[in-house]
Structure 1
Amino acid sequence: MIKEKIGLIPRYNWDYKFPDFAKAFSAAWRHNSDSKGILESVFGQEPILTGSGRTSLYIILKSLELPEGSGVGVPLFCCPVVFEAIHEAGLVPVFIDINIDDYCISASDLQKKIDSISAIIVVHLFGHPANMDAISSICRSIPIVEDCAHALFSKYKGKSIGCLSTVSFFSFRSGKYISSGEGSAIFCQDPLLYKNINRFIEKLKEWKLLQEIFHCTATYIKSILYNKPWYGTIGYPVGRLLDQKLNLTSKTGIKLRKIAKGDLIILNDRIESFFEKVRKQRENAFFFMKNLNLKGGELPYEKSDCQSNYYQFAIRFQNSSQRDFIADYLLRCGIDSAKYLDEIVDVSKIDYGYRGDCPNSEICSKTVLVVPNHYVLSDKDLNYIVKCLNNGNEYFVSTCT
């Protein structure tokens, strides 16, 4: 059965409704931003707030005061804005391969390259916790930066992601778990580094009133276009056109700003109740793992000492032909999906000097498909996604292999 475009299920969850817009719009007119106390009570330590995740990472890297041109370890299979922040900070990315089963940094590859790095960025991709014990053992005194953009409320050996290293940061932009518009929080365990970071924060630009109004208005409009019924008719076609016209994985620059007042009020409004939404998304992921039967498709799994928030549900297929076929089949069924980081290898070679020494990352860039598992999906949606994935894969196996 082919669904009409008006019912297209979005690949990501842009959860920013009119009441959120109204609160953000009202906050833009206030002289004082909302308190950080709610965030502190949830995370157990005071956050340092910035306008975006890339701003946070840039400030962290500058605050480490590494010599110009120092190497920073980073997984190849991650968002290229991480590489851009490294470059903008006057440092050089040293690409580390990933484990093919959890998409996080490979401790064995890190061990091979440890002598060439002065700091490392550990990305908990898709919400799956990296092996922090192994990484910490290898790095010893080398600063570890946790990129927790995907990993809100994920846990590693009973401890919350974000408190396992020297310094960490979270992202709350639209499409992420909180979807406050933009915004980021840094958590730092080192007193000297904490002071250095705050010195940078003091220099960040404040949002002007018109910028705040435009920002919350644009966020609300984008959210409308990235949800049913407008996603299939406007959001998806426009997004696809932009993908064709622009290289969205290329360098875009970093806007160094403080967090917008509207973003902070939405963040505070949502954070305490968000545990329930993470619980629901985990429930959705387990429903998929129980009911999907994909020959040639590897589903995520949860290690016994870890708890993933399943921010994204990634399936790894045997080859790009199978992955691409399933993506096209799902689209015909009215389900959008994402060929995650499909162009990351080429971008990294051209812009950041990648030398081709991360084979697992290269495999994943051509075989991983992210499918919707949002907490807002209905039981009907979840069953439909499972049905289409199973049927599409069965058809591929019977006719294309």
Structure 2
Amino acid sequence: MIPRFNYSYSLRDTWDGITGLLFNKKPNTSYLNDLFPGAAIYFVDSARMGIKYALLAFNLKPGAKIGIQPYTCSSMLAAIAAANCRPVFIDINEQLSLDCDDLRRKLTGLDALIITHTFGIPANITQIKQLTGQLPVIEDCAHAFHSWYEGIHAGNFFDAAVFSFGNGKFPSVGGGGLLVINRRKSSERVAGMLGKLKSSGLVRELTFAGRQLVNALIHSRVGESTLYYLLNENFLSNKSQQISDYPTHERQPYRSVGYAMQRQFTELAIMSMKQRENARYLIDRQNSHYKMLANVDDAGNSFAIVLLSHRRNELYNFLRKKGIGAGKHFQHAKSWAMQFGYQHGECPNFEQIVGEILTIPCHYGMISSDLQKIDQCLNEFTQSNNLTR
């Protein structure tokens, strides 16, 4: 099975983590200053934790209204609730990011806004800036490390930004994330709050490194194939339907994540280029048959290819049977949102598109034969079903 995302966590990552912990090395994060000049940068235990603390740093009133698109991970909604705020849902456009017309209609009364660079495709930052003025804004960059907008790295445009380095993200270093604060008063509050968190001990750190190595093996080609044959689709769908709860115990991030990130940072440009080339190859060959989305900016990172199809479920099953790790990303987003107050018909574009989204792998771990196989299988499905775009 060609894995949908890259879950790489190597023996070298494990070794770097263990030796760093045993010798009590402090991860060097100076390389991040070039990407986020002038910002305060914090490693956090998870992206959802980053969202919560970014909201708390704004010093909002209890029950504050936070604008967010419904096509998002349930962990983002859980983080809003953990910050004692509530979401206001704003529709998405064809690029799967905030629809600026709907944002304009719902802007009055918002206390803050979260914009998402979904699948690494930058939102319309210029127009959002014009609309929001002084409103506090957070960039959800969980898919957008090494994504750029007009030559500037995502995460630099508003008050705060959150990145994820969890399983299957880019880069895949096992867990945690990054909280970027671009506002001095907010950074002082964040530093004070994060400084009070308990650090992980040596045993927890070593257990984490070992667990990530095992997880990478499970999501390797052989591991993914084994899971596909052992677990039925209903089991996987029911599991993904569950809301990602906010953690009951907050901690400082695992230091081993910082070690792995430090080593992989020198390779990011090459990995981004590989993913971008993979995405372009498949889009160029299939664009006449399917509507496909990806960030193919000359310097950017393609987190995944999005294929939009009314026959999404059939195509998903076909590709999985052929050994291709396609995914129905955030397929339960509407039911998640409804548990946080979403009303049917509130975001009509979202409700139409959410059932058509299929992600196709393009990660840097793929080889040329993988791309050829995906291309051939898509052609086979197209021809057997007489499909045209």
Residues 130-149 of structure 1 correspond to what in structure 2 (within 5 A)? 130-149=123-142
For 2:314, the equivalent position in structure 1 comes to: 325
- Give, in angstroms, the shift of residue 47 of structure 1: 1.6
For 2:155, the equivalent position in structure 1 comes to: 162
Which letter does structure 2 place at the counterpart of 1:230?
Answer: G
Seen in structure 2, the aligned counterparts of structure 1 residues 240 and 25 have a Cα distance that, compared at 3 Å, is farther
- Give, in angstroms, the shift of residue 79 of structure 1: 0.9
- Give, in angstroms, the shift of residue 244 of structure 1: 5.2
Distance across 1 between alignment mates of 2:242 and 2:103: 25
Distance across 2 between alignment mates of 1:221 and 1:242: 21
For 1:352, the equivalent position in structure 2 comes to: 340
Which letter does structure 2 place at the counterpart of 1:315?
Answer: L
Seen in structure 2, the aligned counterparts of structure 1 residues 237 and 117 have a Cα distance that, compared at 3 Å, is farther
Match of 1:20 among 13, 20, 31: 13
For these two proteins, the number of residue pairs brought into alignment is 386
The answer as to whether partners of 1:42 and 1:272 remain within 8 angstroms in 2 is no
Which letter does structure 2 place at the counterpart of 1:178?
Answer: P
- Check if 1:230 corresponds to 2:219: no
Q: Secondary structure at the match of 1:373?
A: coil
Instruction: Deviation per CA, 1:149-200: give whole Å up to 9, x if none.
Output: 1111111112111101111121111210111111211222211011011111
Which letter does structure 2 place at the counterpart of 1:367?
Answer: E
Q: In terms of mean alpha carbon deviation, does 147-156 or 121-130 score higher? A: 147-156
Which letter does structure 1 place at the counterpart of 2:88?
Answer: V
Distance across 2 between alignment mates of 1:202 and 1:111: 37
- Give, in angstroms, the shift of residue 271 of structure 1: 1.2
Seen in structure 2, the aligned counterparts of structure 1 residues 228 and 247 have a Cα distance that, compared at 3 Å, is closer
For 2:51, the equivalent position in structure 1 comes to: 57
Q: In terms of mean alpha carbon deviation, does 242-251 or 106-115 score higher? A: 242-251
Seen in structure 2, the aligned counterparts of structure 1 residues 97 and 237 have a Cα distance that, compared at 3 Å, is farther
For 2:93, the equivalent position in structure 1 comes to: 99
- Check if 1:205 corresponds to 2:198: yes
The answer as to whether partners of 1:24 and 1:261 remain within 8 angstroms in 2 is yes
Q: Secondary structure at the match of 1:84?
A: helix
The answer as to whether partners of 2:295 and 2:301 remain within 8 angstroms in 1 is no
Which letter does structure 2 place at the counterpart of 1:23?
Answer: D
- Give, in angstroms, the shift of residue 396 of structure 1: 2.3
Instruction: Deviation per CA, 1:73-123: give whole Å up to 9, x if none.
Output: 0011111111110011100000111112x1110110000100131100011
Instruction: Deviation per CA, 1:258-291: give whole Å up to 9, x if none.
Output: 1211111001111122011101101111101111
For 1:218, the equivalent position in structure 2 comes to: 211
For 2:284, the equivalent position in structure 1 comes to: 290
Distance across 2 between alignment mates of 1:302 and 1:82: 22
- Give, in angstroms, the shift of residue 246 of structure 1: 3.6
Which letter does structure 2 place at the counterpart of 1:316?
Answer: L
Q: Secondary structure at the match of 2:284?
A: helix
Match of 2:331 among 335, 342, 353: 342
The answer as to whether partners of 1:39 and 1:271 remain within 8 angstroms in 2 is no
For 2:76, the equivalent position in structure 1 comes to: 82
Match of 1:262 among 242, 256, 263: 256
Match of 1:44 among 29, 37, 41: 37
For 1:310, the equivalent position in structure 2 comes to: 302
Which letter does structure 2 place at the counterpart of 1:97?
Answer: D
- Check if 1:179 corresponds to 2:167: no
- Check if 1:394 corresponds to 2:383: yes
Match of 1:371 among 356, 360, 373: 360
Q: Secondary structure at the match of 1:370?
A: strand
Q: In terms of mean alpha carbon deviation, does 198-207 or 387-396 score higher? A: 387-396
The answer as to whether partners of 2:119 and 2:294 remain within 8 angstroms in 1 is no
Seen in structure 2, the aligned counterparts of structure 1 residues 330 and 251 have a Cα distance that, compared at 3 Å, is closer
The answer as to whether partners of 1:69 and 1:91 remain within 8 angstroms in 2 is yes
Q: Secondary structure at the match of 1:366?
A: coil
Seen in structure 2, the aligned counterparts of structure 1 residues 26 and 198 have a Cα distance that, compared at 3 Å, is same
The answer as to whether partners of 1:281 and 1:373 remain within 8 angstroms in 2 is yes
Distance across 1 between alignment mates of 2:293 and 2:287: 13
Percentage identity across paired residues of the two chains: 24
The answer as to whether partners of 1:249 and 1:344 remain within 8 angstroms in 2 is no
The answer as to whether partners of 1:156 and 1:307 remain within 8 angstroms in 2 is no
The answer as to whether partners of 1:24 and 1:265 remain within 8 angstroms in 2 is yes
For 1:4, the equivalent position in structure 2 comes to: none
